[in-house]
Amino acid sequence: MKINKSIKIFINYFLGPILFAWLSYSIYQQIKHQPDLENSWQMIRTSFGSPKVLLLGATFLLMIVNWGLEAFKWKMAIQKVQQVSYLTAFKAILSGTSFSVTTPNRVGEYLGRLLYMHEGNRLKAISLTIAGSMSQLLVTLLMGLTGFFVLREPITNGHILGGAWIQAIVYGVSAVLLVLTVFYLRLSWIIRWIDRLPRLRNYAWLLKGLEDFNATLLLQILSLSLVRFFVFLTQYFLLFRLFNVDVSWWQGCWAVSVSFLVMAVLPTIALFTDLSLKGKISLQLLGLFSGNSLGIWATSVTIWFINLIIPALAGSLLILGIKRIFKNNNDEKI
C-alpha cells in the first residue's frame, strides 16, 4: 500500500506537472514558429467581434446536449437498481465531472455519480456505470481505429509514426476492440462465471444488475454513445470555423477520432496533463492538414474549458447540496 501511495503521489505531484510543463513548452515552440502567426492571431480576434462568435454559443449548447445524453445513458443503465429522475441523473453527471478532473483518466467521475444513489445501491451501481462507460470506449476505439486506417498515409508521410508502428497499433486496438465488444454484448455471462467460483460467489450480488442488460438495452446505450461522439466532432468543427482552421470534414473527423483514441489509452489527469497532451496531439494530427497551429491550439483549449471545466465547476456547486440529497434519498423525486 505504501508503494502504491508513493507512486500515486509521484505521478500526481511530480511527474504530472513536469509532463504538463514539457508539453506546454513544446506547444509554445510549435505555435511560435508558425508562419504568419500575427495574421492568425488577428483573424481569431476578429472572429470574436463578428457573427462567427455565435459558433462559440452553439458549441456551449452542444456541451449541454453532450452531458444531457450522458445523463440519459446513465439513467438507463441504473434503472433496474434504482429509478432516478432525469434531473437527478444530470446532476450526478456534473458532480462526477467535478471529481474526475483531478483523477487519472477521470475515474473519479464514478464517485460523484454514486453520491446520488441510495446508500444500499451505490456498490451495485458501480458495475452498471462502468458498463455505460464501456460503450463510450467501444465507440472511441472503433472510430479511432477507422481513423488510423483512413489517415495511415498522411501520418506516415508526416513522420508522426512509421508504418510498422501504425500496423502494430491497428492490430492491438483491433484485438482489444474485439474482446471488449464480445464482453460488452455478453455482460450477463459475468454473473454465471462468478457463481461458479466459490471465492467470488459472495460478491456476485454487486453485479446482479448486469443480468438485466439485454441486447436491446446494450444497443440503445451504445447508440447514445455514438451520438455523443458525433456531438464532440460537431463541436470541433464549429470551433475550427471560429478559429479559421481550414480542414475538411473528412480530414478533421478522422484526425479528431485518432486523437480521442490516443487520449483514451494514455494515462492523464484532466486538470494537469489532459489539456497540454490533447493540444500536442491535435497539433500533430490536424497540423497534417492545416498550418494554423494557433487556431488548432485555441480549439483544443476551448473544447477543454467548455466540455470539462465549466461542467466541473457546476458540479462542484451541486456537491455543496449533497447533504440535502442524503436526507431525502428515500424520496426519489429529487
pLDDT by 10s per residue, the chain, length 334? 344 556 555 545 565 566 556 545 555 565 565 555 566 566 666 766 677 789 999 999 999 999 999 999 999 988 888 888 999 999 999 988 887 776 666 777 777 888 888 877 777 777 788 888 889 999 999 999 999 889 988 888 877 777 777 888 888 999 999 999 988 888 767 766 766 666 666 666 666 667 777 888 889 999 999 999 999 999 999 999 998 899 999 999 999 999 999 888 776 555 555 667 777 888 889 989 988 888 898 898 889 888 988 888 888 888 776 654 444 444 444 4
Distance CA 41, CA 38 (A): 5
The pLDDT of residue 262: 87
| Residue 210 C-beta-side C-alpha neighbours within 13 Å | 25
In terms of Cα–Cα distance, which of 87, 90, 86 is closest to 113? 90
Phi/psi for 104 (5° steps) reads -55, 130
Question: Does residue 269 sit in helix, strand or coil?
Answer: strand
**Residue 199: CB atoms within 10 Å:** 7
Distance CA 107, CA 242 (A): 32
Phi/psi for 187 (5° steps) reads -60, -30
Cβ density class 226-250: b for 16+ within 10 Å, e for less: bebbebbbebbbbbbbbbbbebeee
C-alpha cell at 206: 454487486
List all residues 6 or more positions away from 226 whose beta carbon is below 8 Å from its beta carbon: 139
The DSSP call for residue 333 is: -
Distance CA 195, CA 105 (A): 31
Question: Does residue 289 sit in helix, strand or coil?
Answer: coil
Query: Is pTM, for the whole model, over 0.85?
Result: no
The pLDDT of residue 140: 95
C-alpha cell at 223: 447508440
Distance CA 160, CA 91 (A): 41
The pLDDT of residue 2: 40
C-alpha cell at 207: 453485479
User: In the chain, count of helices (H) and strands (E)?
Assistant: 17, 0
Q: Quick check: 141 and 177 in contact, CB under 8 A?
A: yes
In terms of Cα–Cα distance, which of 132, 124, 62, 60 is closest to 96? 132
